[in-house]
Amino acid sequence: MNAIVDINLKELALGAFLLLIPIGFLYTYRIKMVKDVLINVARMVVQLSLVALYLEFIFDLNSALINSLWVLVMILVGVLTAINRIGLKIKFFIFPFFIAGLTSVLIIDTFCLGLILKLDYIFDARYFIPITGMVLGNALNHNIVGLKTYFKSHTEKQDLYRFLLSNSGNQKTAVRPFIEEAVKMALNPMIANMSVIGLVTLPGMMTGQILGGSPPAVAIKYQVMIMIAIFVGCTINIFVSIVFTNKIIFDAYGNMKEATIKTTRFLQKKIQR
């Protein structure tokens, strides 16, 4: 394999000129997103630059404690982001969502790093942080979609929930259609993506490894592993989050706690009408 081709800052800045194409479209059609694009691209560059400096440090140090703390921070940031995007109150959901994220990380990392890769040092930053980050990042995106759907369904279909609860006498049976809808919304995009990998898309991890000099066969095996890990991690995260959510928003008789339901912005708007 040839040596990795580096990108210097001048060439990277030149590549940024590609942004003129979407900005031109947005400006031409007077779509008010130009400012958001520029601010978030700048934010991305700053954040990634800081992360690069930090990762250089923790990769050299390679401490189990520091690497674990970094992962806990990643989980916390993801949880806070999800809570904010869904429109929930932190005090009700930060702990259960954090436990859901931690559970998925523990299971996935144990299998991938310990049983599949058989690392002598499971906290090796080179593997531990990137793989955990990919699982958490994807779980964040899909959880937001799934949990938004779950809360929205309960908001708009309270009569259906009460009907199912009164006829079945079982709260688990009553919430089953809502869980099904939420899980489908969360996982269907990932399932569709898996069906076209290699035919329509070349995923990021595989592409990155090939660009980094790994043989395509090795890169593909890693990609298969990480796609399974991401799917399983997202599934664990969404189901555990919903289980904890049900313990928060329902009382012992299966009735919704009105004060808890009102934590969602979309429900507040519905009640105000």
Q: Could you read off the pLDDT of 254-273 as tens digits, one per residue?
A: 777 766 655 555 544 544 44
pLDDT of residue 253: 76
pLDDT of residue 161: 87
What percentage of residues in the chain have a pLDDT greater than 90? 53
Q: Look at residue 54 and tell me whether its pLDDT is greater than 90.
A: no
Q: Look at residue 240 and tell me whether its pLDDT is greater than 50.
A: yes
Q: State mean pLDDT over 138-153.
A: 91
pLDDT of residue 273: 44
Q: State mean pLDDT over 160-164.
A: 89
Q: State mean pLDDT over 170-180.
A: 89
Q: State mean pLDDT over 169-178.
A: 87
Q: Look at residue 237 and tell me whether its pLDDT is greater than 90.
A: yes
In Å, how far are 4, 51, 95, 137, 202 from 99, measured between CA atoms?
A: 39, 25, 6, 16, 32
Strands, E, within 193-238: which ranges? Answer: none
Contact of 112 with 205, CB cutoff 8 Å:
no
pLDDT of residue 260: 61
Q: Could you read off the pLDDT of 118-129 as tens digits, one per residue?
A: 999 999 998 999
Taking the C-alpha atoms of residue 140 and residue 125, their distance in angstroms, rounded to an integer, is: 21
Q: Look at residue 158 and tell me whether its pLDDT is greater than 80.
A: yes
Q: Look at residue 244 and tell me whether its pLDDT is greater than 60.
A: yes
Reading the block at residue 261, the tokens are 């339901």
pLDDT of residue 271: 41
Q: Answer positive or negative: Cα dihedral of 230, 233, 236, 241.
A: negative
**Residue 12: exposure state from Cβ atoms within 10 A (0-12, 13-18, ≥19):** exposed
